[in-house]
Chains A and B, each alone.
Chain A
């Protein structure tokens, strides 16, 4: 029983199909992370400024994104945009929009946190040295902020990667979907235990991707903690 089940993984091009599925997942995650870091940084910098209106808007936006489960957001955007607004949009695009909106919210909070947590005397000692505020920003504040930000940003990346597994539920053909397809074919061929092995492999694939990233985040955080 054990060897017939596990055989499914090595039949035909099943391994390549799974890896293709994995690539769809990581592609969505990568694009979303890059966009999130970009927009999140802009909003975060605005948020740490003095403009009250940005505070209110950013907090409201963040709260909405934190209250709604990602899956609900995926449904809202995919079905909302295609069925109600009749915008022609594929599920992968909808996923990228949702992960970007969510990632941007989280990222902006991280950026704001990093900027506002910098001690005031850092800025003051910069001024005391006669530096211009531009120099203070780029030589003193930004490098310190990045040290605080990078571990958390990497951590956010693993959260986004893990969440991309949800896109199967709005019909994106990614890792889990490919897995399902392989299991279906296998069960036609009376391979009963295929599901166990395929889902175990998918479980491990996610682990293999996320584990090194979260270790990196952990070590950076430890290293820069002072």
Chain B
């Protein structure tokens, strides 16, 4: 944001006075609520997608971990497809491509499906690295005190794997929230949609853009700070020996 301001600042001095003085403050009062609602919509969809992604990711990671026959190769194919294609293309295919074959989704379901398709593979990788970091010895000592497989997973493996995966899970949540910025292509009125609309409608481009930036800072900065805190904590807590 600073970069943008400083670049445009000099130009504005010549063109229409400094950037802040040249702003239309009434614009903020009038359109801020639209951004607010857009942000709520985006966060809502992100929240649902994050929960579904975690479920999908956990399932995939467990299938991979237990090397379930037949399912494991399918999971690998899904993960590669999801990680090596852009969300935007996934959205276009779901929203514009599939209906032509008779499979139709509402905008919101479309967004949630696409975000979960994407997020599921990212979460799966996070859980997988968590699961794989639990050494064989931990498993054996769990077995040697007579735990069965489910108890071993529940009391020994998962708590440790989850703590190790936590920073990656947090990073994935932020990633998914950022990816909601594409939802306007499936006709959802997220902050991006609002900004695009306002830029197209009138000439208050810089106010529209400033509000857009502020909206995303408010949406993501707090989470990003929490994540930094968790990362430090996990590192200092020194799980493992």
Binding site for B on A (CB under 8 A): 5, 60-61, 63-64, 66-72, 75-77, 79-81, 83-87, 101, 158, 162-163, 165-166, 168-169, 176, 179, 183, 192-200, 202-203, 206-207, 210-211, 214
Size class of the contact patch on chain B: 35 or more
Complex contact B98–A196 (CB within 8 A): yes
Residue from B4, B88, B174, B220 in contact with A77 in the complex, judged by beta carbons closer than 8 Å: B4
Chain A contacts of B89 at CB under 8 A?
Answer: 165, 176, 199, 202-203, 206
- Interface bits B64-100 vs A (CB < 8 Å: 1, else 0): 0000000000000000110111111110110011111
Complex contact B100–A5 (CB within 8 A): yes
**Complex: how many Å from CA A87 to CA B196?**
20
Is the C-beta of B43 less than 8 angstroms from some C-beta in chain A? no
Complex contact B3–A101 (CB within 8 A): yes
Chain B contacts of A195 at CB under 8 A?
Answer: 96-97, 99-100
Chain B contacts of A63 at CB under 8 A?
Answer: 224
**Complex: how many Å from CA A3 to CA B6?**
55
Complex contact B178–A69 (CB within 8 A): yes
Residue from B93, B180, B216 in contact with A200 in the complex, judged by beta carbons closer than 8 Å: B93
Residue of B nearest to A202 (CB): B89
Chain A contacts of B101 at CB under 8 A?
Answer: 193, 196
Is the C-beta of B199 less than 8 angstroms from some C-beta in chain A? yes
A-B interface pairs (CB < 8 A), number: 143
Q: Give the interface centre of B84, B90, B174, B206 by most chain A CB atoms within 10 Å.
A: B84
Given A63-B224, A196-B100, A199-B92, does the pair A80, B185 have CB atoms closer than 8 Å? no
Residues of A contacting B: mostly: helix
**Complex: how many Å from CA A211 to CA B12?**
45
Complex contact B100–A192 (CB within 8 A): yes
Complex contact A80–B8 (CB within 8 A): yes
Q: List 5 A-B contacts (CB under 8 A).
A: A69-B180, A85-B15, A192-B100, A199-B92, A199-B97
Chain A contacts of B196 at CB under 8 A?
Answer: 75
Complex contact B185–A76 (CB within 8 A): no
Residue of A nearest to B203 (CB): A83
**Closest approach, in angstroms, between the C-beta of A190 and any C-beta of chain B?**
12
Is the C-beta of B166 less than 8 angstroms from some C-beta in chain A? no
Complex contact A67–B224 (CB within 8 A): yes
Residue from A68, A79, A192, A207 in contact with B85 in the complex, judged by beta carbons closer than 8 Å: A207
Residue of A nearest to B15 (CB): A86
Complex contact B216–A68 (CB within 8 A): yes
Complex contact B181–A72 (CB within 8 A): yes
Residue from B3, B90, B182, B212 in contact with A203 in the complex, judged by beta carbons closer than 8 Å: B90
- Interface bits B1-25 vs A (CB < 8 Å: 1, else 0): 1111001100110010001000000
